């Protein structure tokens, strides 16, 4: 992310409307390898392939902001790897992490990982450190500390169905489990900040919060998210949940969030009302059915519909309702950007 882009992002999360409407997309390994014509495995294992795919995207679409920018990650294997999950890789598809908890009581033996030594985390840090000079030479900086959220990590380690059931049947054990995971996340984002001084943003991704009720959210998610987003002072505190987002939306300000990437099922106007003026929005045309699979005309029409649905456009960054999915074409992204610019 360039300095100019960062300043625009900060301006918007502070509730100000930019001179021109701004687009941005969360990009990582689901989209970048296929779009740039490389295998997923090469993207994960080669610094040059990883760097070139990222810089190609930024140079192809200079009008938009890519968040977080040069994301060093290994898909959904990133955090589970530190806890000891078996990781399963494929040449041209996303990897997955096998669960390590098979009985609810197993959560009591889970130890907090060492973020400096465990799993793939040292590889992630080293990739950024090795490429920091190249990143800055291209006019960008490392701006975000990133992690999946507590409930999301718990579901990887335990299984989503098993975790959701244990919330009801073994709530005390789940609190112990989430406490360990949250302490890990606090260490992890702190270490990223320690290693890269230009970090002034936090990105937390947790779709599982979309599958619990309000009372469960307030007890099992809100306190831990509040700790994470307030762990150290940052300009941008971005929360991604493209599962149902109505439960968490009214509590995001309390959690410390000031930018929310949410699912396309929720109208932008409704979400603006729920989150209030203190939380800016990143969204929200359908990522798969329109941005990836739709025609150029479909993309344009969806952009017009979303933009015309909102009277007050301050605190909005135009995007898709979630991260950039697989198979989104250059033409559709350009159509999106052009439609936003024309509508502005």
pLDDT in tens, 78-132: 999 999 999 999 999 999 999 999 999 999 999 999 999 999 999 999 999 999 9
Q: Nearest to residue 156, comparing CAs of 202, 93, 110? A: 110
Instruction: Give pLDDT, residue 91.
Output: 93
Residue 203 to residues 97, 209, 268: CA-CA distances in angstroms?
Answer: 21, 15, 21
Instruction: Give pLDDT, residue 312.
Output: 86
Question: In angstroms, rounded to a whole number, what is the distance separating the alpha carbons of residues 300 and 291?
Answer: 10
Domain containing 297 equals: 3-343
Residue for token pair 């302490």: 183
- pLDDT, averaged across the chain: 96
- In tens, the pLDDT along 14-57 reads 988 788 999 999 999 999 999 999 999 999 999 999 999 999 99
20, 344 Cβ separation under 8 angstroms: yes
Strand partners, 23: 318
Residue 204: pLDDT band (50, 70, 90) is very high
Residue 70 φ/ψ region, left for φ over 0, alpha for ψ in the -120 to 50 degree band, beta for the rest: left
53, 37 Cβ separation under 8 angstroms: no
Mean pLDDT to the nearest integer, 319-340: 97
Instruction: Give pLDDT, residue 19.
Output: 81
Flag whether pLDDT at 344 surpasses 90: no
Mean pLDDT to the nearest integer, 226-250: 96
Query: Which two tokens mark 150?
Result: 């507590």
Residue 234: pLDDT band (50, 70, 90) is very high
* pTM assigned to the model: 0.97
Residue 338: pLDDT band (50, 70, 90) is very high
Number of domains in the chain: 1
220, 247 Cβ separation under 8 angstroms: no
Instruction: Give pLDDT, residue 15.
Output: 84
In the DSSP assignment, the letter for residue 289 is I
Q: Considering the chain, what percentage of its residues have pLDDT values greater than 90?
A: 97
Mean pLDDT to the nearest integer, 175-198: 98
Mean pLDDT to the nearest integer, 300-327: 95
The CATH number of the domain where 88 resides is what? 3.20.20.210
- In tens, the pLDDT along 262-282 reads 999 999 999 999 999 999 999
**C-alpha 334 chain-centroid distance:** 22
66, 57 Cβ separation under 8 angstroms: yes
Instruction: Give pLDDT, residue 62.
Output: 97
236, 8 Cβ separation under 8 angstroms: no
Instruction: Give pLDDT, residue 24.
Output: 98
| DSSP helix/strand/coil, 148 | strand
């Amino acid at each position: 992310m360039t300095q100019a882009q960062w300043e625009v992002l900060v301006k918007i999360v502070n509730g100000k409307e930019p001179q021109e409407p701004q687009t941005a997309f969360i990009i990582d390994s689901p989209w970048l390898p296929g779009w740039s014509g490389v295998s997923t495995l090469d993207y994960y294992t080669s610094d040059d392939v990883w760097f070139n795919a990222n810089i190609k995207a930024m140079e192809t679409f200079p009008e938009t902001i890519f968040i977080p920018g040069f994301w060093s990650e290994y898909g959904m294997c990133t955090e589970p790897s530190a806890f000891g999950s078996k990781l399963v890789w494929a040449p041209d598809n996303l990897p997955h992490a096998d669960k390590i908890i098979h009985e609810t009581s197993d959560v009591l033996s889970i130890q907090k990982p060492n973020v400096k030594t465990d799993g793939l985390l040292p590889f992630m840090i080293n990739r950024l450190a090795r490429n920091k000079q190249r990143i800055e030479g291209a006019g960008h900086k490392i701006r975000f500390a990133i992690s999946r959220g507590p409930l999301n990590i718990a579901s990887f380690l335990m299984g989503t169905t098993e975790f959701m059931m244990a919330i009801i049947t073994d709530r005390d054990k789940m609190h112990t489990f989430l406490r360990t995971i949250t302490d890990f996340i606090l260490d992890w984002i702190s270490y990223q900040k320690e290693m890269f001084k230009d970090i002034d943003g936090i990105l937390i991704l947790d779709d599982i919060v979309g599958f619990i009720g309000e009372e469960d959210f307030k007890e099992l998610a809100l306190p831990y998210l509040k700790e994470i987003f307030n762990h150290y002072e940052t300009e941008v505190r971005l929360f991604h949940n493209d599962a149902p987002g109505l439960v968490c939306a009214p509590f995001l300000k309390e959690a410390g969030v000031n930018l929310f990437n949410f699912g396309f099922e929720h109208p932008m106007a409704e979400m603006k009302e729920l989150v209030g003026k203190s939380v800016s929005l990143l969204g929200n045309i359908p990522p798969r059915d329109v941005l990836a699979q739709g025609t150029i005309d479909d993309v344009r029409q969806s952009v017009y519909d979303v933009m015309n649905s909102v009277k007050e456009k301050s605190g909005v960054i135009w995007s898709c309702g979630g991260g950039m999915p697989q198979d989104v074409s250059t033409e559709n992204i350009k159509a999106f950007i052009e439609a936003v610019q024309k509508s502005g």
